[in-house]
Structure 1
């Protein structure tokens, strides 16, 4: 039972992702505040490992943790499962599907959604990877493609089924390309004896001259070579202009026949922000002061992917990664407490702890200050850091066991086509194949705060 203090300030934190969770932890250390964390899901999702759910390596519950369990020992923190529909900044009231939620101070940490940049057909036909449901949909779809291709007699359709296109060569795109290649070359190669590995094509489309733009050149070149070794076809200096059910069209008129498009090319602020009456900037992100406050409502702060701090006309954008969200979440909580206690607020400054990405088995790139590591030791570093940040001791143990099993036996254990939230029949095949599944509701967009 929470210790409710009737004289304490009522604080609401929107979102249970990295920013919201770390903001709540700061308030959990301090008396004088009643805090309510609001999220549409009752769990925190560890998004950096979501691609492993989509590539049959992990189950979503292994990288998720109940928010109520997280706050169990923080007696001034409450959780409320609700979907926010708007906010009245003047009256300090949130509107939600469970009614009005008043506040004295507010931290908005609703995260981001996939940015399709208005590309024709992308939102309709491409998969995004921002929620557990979407990861399961991708896994279902990939495995379904192999099931149908096993008995497909038309070589053109079979080619489309076995061509997998990933748009965006950032860490998520690179990590998923590596994981998918390993899935194809190990478990699926043994499961589907009628298919040749050479029939499967994995395409990575990136507008820059190689993967991992923003990393040091030596690490980018290593990633490029590693992807080539895994059989990933890099299409660099290329931009997608159109996505259809059975093909992708590039800027120069080149078409790639494919039934699978995974979009990891960018993010934008959660669409809920459009209904809040707050100032929005680039990519639908909420404009704040350097202290993460709304300019005309200093009791409202924004943290994580949704925040766009501005110093005059200069954006102070940090990377849209978990460490930035964690730091902004903690900083916004400290600043909100300073605001109520009459102290001077501090501008946010991102402390770069480094960047890292894994590229398949025993291979990764790590950039920590002047230190640049590749290969096996970088991969071990990647494993340790992700296990440490994963919420829940049980989750850490289970994920470690899964990784050890996969490493020792070259086997992915979650090759299951589960009940669907939408059709997993490969795009364009719904009328040609008979299925007994019940049609599910269309996917709702989920924020990174889940």
Structure 2
């Protein structure tokens, strides 16, 4: 009898355990519905801090948390470790690499992936930073470059080993450049006694004429000045055309010898969206209506980086606050459909922008409020710690940040893979 009752509950299938998927599941978990959450990883990842894993500031388990642990007290939430390959909207069936599952309501929160804009050589030889594995790979590589450079006698090759290029002037690029600088000039400089750190070169390359384009001009200028003080060479209005793993070519003919190019210049919707029979817009995102539904499929919601949602003249940005607000709105509208109530249109409430450039250095813009320096860094730190999914993660990250702040140390400098 109990199984029959459970079977009659509306079945909500959520694809993706990122900010949008986890938030939707949490918002619906206390309702009389059955929830299946599907992801190819068994953890929720706090992507905004991936760059700190890449620069030896945090460990992988500091910014990731098991999905099953999040929902251990919600008996109506089931997790499937699987990768979705297709959705049949007619039969309401999701196909995974481990089987199929039917749904009454579907929430696609598949997130985004690195967009190389068709540059095959960069995709092959550069480093993306959208997954834990990619961040660990960057960390291992950077540490290995110093080990190789420490005993390299050829001056040209040594300088190439010590040249680190970050492509993309958004928050990820700026934060990565600042963190890499602090790793090198606060930590590594104390341990490589025979190395000439004047040979180290950190470059931040941006194709447009602005870093942090959504920030006010005053804060953009402060960002550039701060990076320069941190020994970062800022190159704007510069386009990368090719990278073969040892030489990066720029539009205009300049060639920069380097073994390290980190690509932070673009994001697009997950490849899953390409397999669905949906209209797509910029960055391959699925076009949704004002309720975040597919226009012809009211039982299907698409949120977060996978959704092309217009507000005003521009689509909403591919950032965590958008996904989280869309998750709340989607959960409410699923409840409204089940209860026969009117749906509510989604309206995004702007949360502002912020980016850290390193120790005591950040920029924050919220409405008319804008600030920089230590106060902005404190705000950035507080917000990011608060958004971590679990108390343990918050406590560990706070302690590591304080340790780094007090003693200029990065504790996660282990090369784990050769």
TM range (shorter): over 0.9
Deviation at 1:316, TM superposition (A): 5.2
1:257 partnered with 2:257: yes
Q: In structure 1, what is the equivalent of residue 79 of structure 2?
A: 79
> Structure 1 CA distance, aligned partners of 2:284 and 2:319?
17
Number of residue equivalences:
416
Q: Where do 1:120-269 residues align within 5 Å? A: 120-269=120-269
Kindly indicate whether structure 1 or structure 2 has the higher relative contact order, using CA contacts under 8 Å at least 6 residues apart: 1
2:367 pairs with 352, 366, 369, which one? Answer: 369
CA contact 1:357–1:365 (8 Å) conserved in 2: yes
Note if contact 2:219-2:363 (Cα within 8 Å) is conserved in structure 1. Answer: yes
Distance 2:339 2:243 in 1: 53
Distance 2:160 2:22 in 1: 42
SS of 2:14's equivalent in the other structure is: strand
Equivalent pair of 1:119/1:240 in contact (CA under 8 Å):
no
The aligned counterpart of 1:42 is 42
The aligned residue for residue 448 of structure 1 is: none
- Paired residues of 1:18 and 1:326 also in contact (CA < 8 A): yes
Name the residue aligned to 2:30: 29
Output the CA distance in 1 between the equivalents of 2:310 and 2:321: 20
Q: C-alpha distance in 1, partners of 2:30/2:210?
A: 45
TM-superposed CA distance for 1:278, in Å, is 2.3
Aligned pairs (5 A) from 1:104-115: 104-115=104-115
CA contact (8 A) 1:146 1:161 kept: yes
Provide the rounded CA distance (Å) in 2 between the counterparts of 1:345 and 1:205.
Answer: 45
What's the offset of the Cα at 1:347?
Answer: 2.0
CA pair 369-140 structure 1, distance change in 2 beyond 3 A:
same
Q: Which residue of 2 aligns with 1:100?
A: 100
1:257-281 CA distances to partner (integer Å, 9 max, x unpaired)?
1110100101011012222222222
Seen in structure 2, the aligned counterparts of structure 1 residues 340 and 310 have a Cα distance that, compared at 3 Å, is farther
Q: Which ranges in structure 2 are unaligned for 5 or more consecutive residues?
A: none
1:345 offset after TM fit, Å? 1.6
Give how far 1:120 is off.
4.3
Q: CA deviation digits over 1:32-77, x for unaligned, max 9?
A: x101111111110111111000000000101111111111222321
Whether 1:60 aligns to 2:29 is no
Quote the Cα distance in structure 2 between the aligned partners of 1:106 and 1:8.
14
Shift of 1:310: 5.0
| Contact kept? 1:120, 1:241, Cα under 8 Å | no
Shift of 1:194: 1.8
Secondary structure of 1:5's match? helix
The Cα of 1:371 is off from its aligned counterpart by: 0.6
* Residue of structure 1 in register with 2:399 after alignment: 401
Question: Are the counterparts in 1 of residues 10 and 34 from structure 2 also a CA contact under 8 Å?
Answer: yes
Q: Give the TM-score of the pair, scaled to structure 1.
A: 0.90
**Is contact 1:15-1:110 (8 Å) kept?**
yes
Greater fraction of residues in helix: 2
Cα distance in 2 for residues equivalent to 1:120 and 1:17: 27
* 238-247 vs 100-109, which moves further: 238-247
Whole-Å Cα distance in 2 between the matches of residues 326 and 258 of structure 1? 38
C-alpha separation in 2, matches of 1:153 and 1:76: 62
Instruction: Find the aligned partners of 1:120 and 1:29 in 2 and give their Cα distance.
Output: 46
1:210 and 1:224 in contact (8 A); partners too: no
* Unaligned 5+ runs, structure 1: 420-436, 438-450
Find the partner of 2:348 among 328, 347, 350.
Answer: 350
Give how far 1:181 is off: 0.2
Using the alignment, how far apart are the partners of 1:412 and 1:310 within structure 2?
A: 42
Structure 2 match to 1:88: 88
> Deviation string for 1:184-210 (max 9, x for gaps)?
002111121121221110000012223
The answer to whether the 8 Å contact 2:354/2:380 transfers is: yes
**Alignment partners' CA distance in 2, 1:191 and 1:346:** 58
- Say which SS state the counterpart of residue 183 (structure 2) adopts: helix
The answer to whether the 8 A contact 1:15-1:111 is kept is yes
* TM-fit CA distance, 1:309: 2.3
